[in-house]
C-alpha cells in the first residue's frame, strides 16, 4: 500500500486524487494547496487530510507525492520531496526553463528517488496499442510519423501568459510522443508558426498555429501540427508509415451513433477535451506509477524524458526566432 500526498487541488489534481483513491494499492493521505478551501473540498471527498508542505514532507508515513500544483512550483517541490525521500510523480513540465529542469533531475538523481513525469498520452489505450504494434515490428521501422494536436478553443489569455508558450505548453506532449514512437532522438528540428485564431495571443508573445519537422539520425521524419482551435472538438491523432504498412490512431468519438439525414451522414464529434479523452490515460498512468513503486522498478516516462521534451520545445522556439533548423 503506497501512501500519497498530493500538491494541488485544481482540475488536474481532482483527477489524480480520484485515481489514487480508487486504486487498491494506494491511499490518498493528504492534500496540500495554496487555497485551503479547495484543499478541504478535495480532501474530504476522498477521506484525506489537509496539510502543509512541511508536515507531509516530514511525515514518514507518506511514501509518494503527486505534484499537480501550478507550473512555477514544480521544480522546487520535486526537489524538496526528493530530499525528503519521497517518490515523485510530477505533472508536465518540470519547469518552463530547461536548465532549471536539468538541475532538478540532478537533485532527484542524487537523492535516488523514483521520478515520473506526467506525459499522459503514452497511457492512452489507443496510442499505447499503436506503440505496442510499432514495437512489435508490425510496420517495420517508422519512416514517417505525423502527429496532429488541436485544442477545441484557445485558452484564456491569463493562462497563455504563464504557459511558457505553445511549444512548451501544448506541443511538448507531441515532442514526447514523437520521441516515444520514433524510438530514437531527433537530431534536428524546424518550426514554423502563426497567429491565426486570436490576435491577442500574438500580442501576448505567443503563437496559436504551428507546424514542426523533426529529423532523426536514421533518417525518419516527423511532422507535428498544432492549432489552438478546432471547432469540432479535441483533435488528437497519430499516424506512422513503415516499410510494411502504416498504423493510425484516430480520434475517439463521443458515441458510435450516426444520423443519416437530408444533409449528410453525421457522426459524433471527438470527445471534447483532455479530461474526457484522456480519462483512461490518467488512470493507467497512475496505475503504472503505483505499480512501479510497488515492484521497485523505475517508472517511465522519467525526469530525463521531461527534460528532453523541454529541450525540443526550446529548440522549436529558437528555430522559430532564427527561421533556421536547429541541431539538437
> Contact residues for its own copies (CB under 8 A)?
22, 125-126, 129-130, 133, 138-139, 143-144, 146, 148, 150, 188, 190, 192-197, 209-211, 213, 215, 219-221, 223, 225, 227, 229-232, 235, 241, 243-269, 323-325
Q: In the complex, what is the shortest distance from the CB of residue 298 to its own copies, in angstroms, rounded to a whole number?
A: 27
Q: Over 149-185, what HEC string results?
A: EECCCCCCHHHHHHCCCHHHHCHHHHHHHHHHHHCCC
Nearest to its own copies of 302, 325 (CB atom):
325
Any idea which residue has 484543499 for its cell? 39
Q: Residue 6 Cβ, how far from its own copies at the closest point, in Å?
A: 19
Min dist CB 302 to its own copies, Å, is 26
Nearest CB to its own copies, comparing residues 79 and 131? 131
Contact 308, 319 (CB under 8 A): no
Shortest distance, position 246 Cβ to its own copies, whole Å: 4
Query: Closest distance between its own copies and the C-beta of residue 284, in Å?
Result: 13
CB 213, min distance to its own copies, A: 5
CB 180 within 8 A of CB 131: yes
With CA atoms as reference, report the closest residue to 166 among 155, 158, 177: 155
Closest approach of its own copies to the CB of residue 177, in Å: 14
Minimum CB distance to its own copies smaller for 118 or for 270 = 270
3-state SS, residue 245:
strand
Report the residue number, 86 or 179, with the smaller CB distance to its own copies: 179
CB of 221 to its own copies, least distance (A): 5
Let me know if 192 is exposed, middle or buried by CB neighbors in 10 A (0-12, 13-18, 19+).
Answer: middle
Closer to its own copies at the Cβ: 67 or 315? 315
What is the SS3 assignment for 188? strand
DSSP one-letter string for 18-75: HHHHT-TTEEEEEEE-SSHHHHHHHHHHTT-EE--HHHHHH-TT--EEEE-S-GGGHH
Q: Any idea which residue has 472538438 for its cell?
A: 233
What DSSP state is assigned to residue 255? Answer: -
Decide whether 76 or 280 has the Cβ nearer to its own copies.
280
When the beta carbons of 270 and 306 are compared against its own copies, the nearer one is: 270
Q: How many CB atoms lie within 10 A of CB 184?
A: 12
Smallest gap from residue 217 Cβ to its own copies (A): 11
**Hey, how many other C-beta atoms are within 10 angstroms of the C-beta on 1?**
10
Of the two residues 295 and 323, which places its CB atom closer to its own copies in the complex?
323
Burial of 228 (0-12, 13-18, 19+ CB in 10 A): buried
Q: Which residue, 294 or 297, has its beta carbon nearer to its own copies?
A: 294
CA distance 215 to 233: 30
Cα dihedral 254, 181, 102, 227 sign: negative
Amino acid at each position: 500500500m503506497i501512501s500519497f500526498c498530493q500538491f494541488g487541488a485544481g482540475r488536474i489534481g481532482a483527477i489524480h486524487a480520484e485515481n489514487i483513491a480508487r486504486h487498491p494499492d494506494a491511499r490518498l493521505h493528504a492534500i496540500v494547496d495554496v487555497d485551503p478551501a479547495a484543499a478541504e473540498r478535495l480532501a474530504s471527498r476522498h477521506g484525506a487530510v489537509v496539510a502543509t508542505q512541511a508536515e507531509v514532507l516530514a511525515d514518514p508515513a507518506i511514501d509518494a507525492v503527486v505534484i499537480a500544483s501550478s507550473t512555477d512550483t514544480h521544480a522546487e517541490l520535486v526537489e524538496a520531496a526528493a530530499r525528503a525521500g519521497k517518490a515523485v510523480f510530477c505533472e508536465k513540465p518540470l519547469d518552463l526553463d530547461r536548465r532549471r529542469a536539468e538541475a532538478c533531475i540532478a537533485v532527484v538523481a542524487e537523492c535516488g528517488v523514483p521520478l515520473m513525469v506526467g506525459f499522459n498520452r503514452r497511457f492512452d489505450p489507443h496510442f499505447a496499442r499503436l506503440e505496442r504494434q510499432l514495437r512489435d515490428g508490425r510496420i517495420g521501422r517508422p519512416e514517417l510519423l505525423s502527429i496532429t494536436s488541436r485544442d477545441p478553443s484557445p485558452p484564456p489569455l491569463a493562462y497563455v501568459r504563464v504557459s511558457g508558450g505553445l511549444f512548451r505548453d501544448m506541443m511538448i506532449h507531441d515532442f514526447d510522443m514523437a520521441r516515444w514512437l520514433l524510438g530514437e532522438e531527433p537530431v534536428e528540428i524546424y518550426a514554423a508558426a502563426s497567429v491565426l485564431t486570436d490576435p491577442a495571443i500574438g500580442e501576448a508573445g505567443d503563437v496559436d498555429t504551428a507546424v514542426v519537422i523533426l529529423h532523426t539520425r536514421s533518417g525518419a521524419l516527423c511532422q507535428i501540427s498544432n492549432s489552438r482551435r478546432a471547432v469540432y472538438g479535441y483533435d488528437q491523432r497519430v499516424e506512422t508509415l513503415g516499410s510494411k504498412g502504416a498504423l493510425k490512431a484516430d480520434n475517439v468519438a463521443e458515441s458510435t451513433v450516426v444520423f443519416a439525414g437530408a444533409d449528410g451522414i453525421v457522426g459524433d464529434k471527438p470527445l471534447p477535451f483532455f479530461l474526457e479523452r484522456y480519462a483512461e490515460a490518467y488512470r493507467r498512468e497512475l496505475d503504472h506509477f503505483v505499480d512501479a513503486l510497488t515492484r521497485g522498478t523505475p517508472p517511465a516516462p522519467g525526469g530525463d524524458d521531461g527534460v528532453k521534451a523541454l529541450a525540443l520545445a526550446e529548440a522549436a522556439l529558437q528555430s522559430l526566432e532564427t527561421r533556421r533548423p536547429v541541431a539538437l
